[in-house]
Chain A
Amino acid sequence: MGGKKDIDDRFKKFGTVSFTGISKVNDFIGYLEQGKIMGTRCTDCGKVFFPPRAECFKCLPGTIEWFEVAGSGKLVSYSRLQFGPVGFENDLPYCIALLDYGDFKVFGRIADDLAEEKLSIGMAMKTRVNELPNGQLNYVFEPA
Chain B
Amino acid sequence: MGKVAIIGVGQSAFVRSYPGSIRELAFEGFSAAMKDAGLAAADIGASVVCSAPEYDKQRSPAGVLAEYLGLNPQPTFYVESLCSSSSMGLRLAYSLVKSGLHDSVAVIGFQKMSEISSSESQERMGRGADIQWESPFGTMMPAYYAMYAQAHMAKYGTTPEDLAQIRVKAATYGQLNEKAVFRKPVTMESFTDPESRMAGPVASPLRVGDCCANADGSSCIVVASEEKARAVCKKPVWILGVGAASTSVNLAGRDLFTGLTVAQEASRQAYEMAGVGPKDIDVAEVHDCFTIAELMAYENLSFAEPGKGVELIREKQTYKEGRIPVNVDGGLLSKGHPIGATGGSQIRTIVLQLREEAGDIQVKGPEIGLVHNIGGVGLYGNVTILGR
A77 and B257 in contact (CB under 8 A), knowing A96-B137, A104-B252, A121-B150? yes
- B residues 249-294 with Cβ under 8 Å of A? 250-254, 257
Q: Which residue in A15, A23, A83 is a CB contact (below 8 Å) of B137? A: A15
Q: Once the chains bind, are A96 and B132 in contact (CB under 8 Å)? A: no
Interface size class, chain B: 35 or more
Q: Once the chains bind, are A16 and B143 in contact (CB under 8 Å)? A: no
A14 and B136 in contact (CB under 8 A), knowing A51-B252, A81-B203, A107-B252? yes
Q: What is the bound-complex CA distance between A120 and B154, given in angstroms?
A: 9
Q: Once the chains bind, are A121 and B151 in contact (CB under 8 Å)? A: yes
Q: What is the bound-complex CA distance between A104 and B251, given in angstroms?
A: 11
Pick out which of these stretches binds chain B: A2-10, A59-67, A84-92. Answer: A84-92
B151: chain A residues within 8 A (beta carbon): 76-77, 121
Q: What is the bound-complex CA distance between A121 and B204, given in angstroms?
A: 14
B140 at the interface (CB under 8 A from A): yes
Q: Once the chains bind, are B140 and A11 in contact (CB under 8 Å)? A: no
Q: Once the chains bind, are A82 and B201 in contact (CB under 8 Å)? A: yes
A-B interface pairs (CB < 8 A), number? 121
Q: Once the chains bind, are B203 and A79 in contact (CB under 8 Å)? A: yes
A23: chain B residues within 8 A (beta carbon): 132
Q: What is the bound-complex CA distance between A65 and B119, given in angstroms?
A: 39
Q: What is the bound-complex CA distance between A79 and B321, given in angstroms?
A: 35
A107 and B132 in contact (CB under 8 A), knowing A77-B147, A98-B251? no
A96: chain B residues within 8 A (beta carbon): 137-139, 143, 147
A43 at the interface (CB under 8 A from B): no
Q: Report which residue of A81, A94, A116 has the largest number of chain B beta carbons within 10 angstroms of its beta carbon.
A: A81
Q: What is the bound-complex CA distance between A69 and B117, given in angstroms?
A: 39
B22 at the interface (CB under 8 A from A): no
Q: Once the chains bind, are A105 and B251 in contact (CB under 8 Å)? A: yes
Q: Once the chains bind, are A91 and B147 in contact (CB under 8 Å)? A: no
Q: Once the chains bind, are B133 and A107 in contact (CB under 8 Å)? A: yes
Q: Report which residue of B122, B130, B138 has the largest number of chain A beta carbons within 10 angstroms of its beta carbon.
A: B138
Q: Once the chains bind, are A84 and B138 in contact (CB under 8 Å)? A: yes
B140: chain A residues within 8 A (beta carbon): 81, 83-85
How far is the CB of B215 from the nearest CB of chain A, in Å? 18
Q: What is the bound-complex CA distance between A76 and B154, given in angstroms?
A: 10
- A residues 119-144 with Cβ under 8 Å of B? 120-122, 136, 138
Q: What is the bound-complex CA distance between A48 and B130, given in angstroms?
A: 19
Q: Once the chains bind, are A79 and B143 in contact (CB under 8 Å)? A: yes
Q: Once the chains bind, are A80 and B203 in contact (CB under 8 Å)? A: yes
B135 at the interface (CB under 8 A from A): yes
Q: What is the bound-complex CA distance between A104 and B133, given in angstroms?
A: 14
A98: chain B residues within 8 A (beta carbon): 147, 251-252, 257
A41 at the interface (CB under 8 A from B): no
Q: What is the bound-complex CA distance between A51 and B135, given in angstroms?
A: 13
Q: What is the bound-complex CA distance between A87 and B124, given in angstroms?
A: 12
Q: What is the bound-complex CA distance between A18 and B154, given in angstroms?
A: 32
B257: chain A residues within 8 A (beta carbon): 76-77, 98
How far is the CB of A23 from the nearest CB of chain B, in Å? 7
Q: Once the chains bind, are B146 and A51 in contact (CB under 8 Å)? A: no
Closest A residue to B129 using CB positions:
A107
Interface CB pairs A-B, < 8 A, 20: A15-B135, A51-B252, A77-B147, A77-B150, A77-B154, A80-B204, A81-B142, A81-B143, A82-B203, A84-B140, A86-B119, A86-B120, A86-B122, A86-B123, A91-B138, A94-B138, A96-B137, A96-B138, A106-B252, A120-B154
* A interface residue numbers (CB < 8 A to B): 11, 14-20, 23, 50-51, 76-88, 91, 94, 96-98, 104-109, 116, 120-122, 136, 138
> Lowest 3 A-B CB distances belong to which pairs?
A15-B136, A79-B146, A85-B123
Contacts A85-B123, A88-B138 known; list 16 others, CB within 8 Å.
A51-B130, A78-B147, A79-B206, A80-B203, A80-B204, A82-B201, A83-B119, A83-B122, A83-B142, A86-B120, A91-B138, A94-B138, A96-B147, A105-B253, A107-B137, A108-B137
